[in-house]
Structure 1
Amino acid sequence: MSEIVDILVVGGGPCGLAVAIEAVKSKLSHIILEKGSITESIRRYPRRMRFFSTAENIEIGGIPFPISNVKANREEALQYYRKVAGYFDLNFKLFTEVIGIEKKDDIFHVFTAKGETYYAKNVVIATGYFDVPRKLNVPGEELPHVSHYYDEPYKYSYSKVVIVGGANSAVEAALELYRHDVDVTIVHRNEDLRQTVKYWLIPDVKNRIKEGKIKAIFNSTVKSIASDSLIIQNVHTQEESTLPADFVFILAGYVPDVKLLFRSGIQLNDVMVPSYDNQTFETNVKGLYVCGTVVAGIHTEKVFIENGREHAQALVDHIAGRPVRPVKNLIMRI
Structure 2
Amino acid sequence: MRKKKVKSEIIEKKVKVAKEEGMFEPVSLYPHIDLNVCIGSAACVADCPEKDILGIVDGVATVINTANCVGHGACFHACPVEAITLRIGTETRGVDLPHVNQNFETNTKGIYIAGELGGMGLIKNSVEQGQQVVESIVKSKKPNKNNVIDVAIIGAGPAGISATLAAKKHGLSSVTLEQDSLGGTVYTFPRAKLVMTSPMDLPLYGKVKLYDTSKDELLQLWKKVIDEHDLEIKEKTKVEQIVPLENNTFRIITNTNEEYICNNVLLSIGRRGSPRKLNVPGEESEKVAYRLLEPERIIDKKVLVVGGGDSAIETALLVKDTNKTILSYRKENFSRLKPKNKEKINAAIEDKSISVIFNSNVVSINKDHVLLKINEQDEVKQIENDLVYIFAGGELPTSFLQKAGVEITKRFGYIMKSHK
Determine if contact 1:224/1:231 at 8 Å carries over to the other structure: yes
Is residue 2:264 matched to residue 1:173?
Answer: no
SS in 1 for 2:160: helix
In structure 2, distance between residues paired with 1:155 and 1:24: 37
Following superposition of structure 1 onto structure 2, how do residues 87-236 of structure 1 map, counting pairs within 5 Å?
A: 89=229, 92=232, 94-95=234-235, 98=239, 99-111=241-253, 113=256, 115-120=258-263, 122-128=264-270, 132-180=274-322, 182-195=323-336, 197-236=337-376
Q: 1:10 to 1:148 in 2, by over 3 A?
A: closer
State the shift of 1:12 in Å. Answer: 2.1
State the shift of 1:34 in Å. Answer: 1.0
SS in 1 for 2:293: coil
In structure 2, distance between residues paired with 1:175 and 1:236: 26
Determine if contact 1:37/1:94 at 8 Å carries over to the other structure: no
Determine if contact 1:10/1:123 at 8 Å carries over to the other structure: yes
SS in 2 for 1:248: strand
Structure label with greater radius of gyration? 2
Q: 1:118 to 1:33 in 2, by over 3 A?
A: farther
In structure 1, distance between residues paired with 2:373 and 2:173: 51
Residue 184 of structure 2 is matched in structure 1 by 41
State the shift of 1:218 in Å. Answer: 1.2
Amino acid at match of 2:330: R
In structure 2, distance between residues paired with 1:103 and 1:110: 10
The alignment's TM-score, normalised by the length of structure 2, stands at 0.52
Amino acid at match of 1:327: S
In structure 2, distance between residues paired with 1:58 and 1:174: 34
Give the root-mean-square deviation of aligned CA atoms: 4.0
In structure 2, distance between residues paired with 1:225 and 1:153: 21
Determine if contact 1:97/1:114 at 8 Å carries over to the other structure: no
State the shift of 1:111 in Å. Answer: 4.9
Determine if contact 1:153/1:176 at 8 Å carries over to the other structure: yes
Determine if contact 2:149/2:175 at 8 Å carries over to the other structure: no
Determine if contact 2:362/2:373 at 8 Å carries over to the other structure: yes
Amino acid at match of 2:245: K
Is residue 2:328 matched to residue 1:328?
Answer: no
Residue 82 of structure 1 is matched in structure 2 by 223
Q: 1:235 to 1:51 in 2, by over 3 A?
A: same
In structure 2, distance between residues paired with 1:58 and 1:140: 46
Is residue 2:195 matched to residue 1:14?
Answer: no
The alignment's TM-score, normalised by the length of structure 1, stands at 0.64
More strand by share: 2
State the shift of 1:207 in Å. Answer: 1.0
State the shift of 1:80 in Å. Answer: 1.4
Q: 1:147 to 1:65 in 2, by over 3 A?
A: same
Q: 1:202 to 1:167 in 2, by over 3 A?
A: same
Amino acid at match of 2:353: K
What are structure 2's unaligned runs of at least 5 residues? 1-144
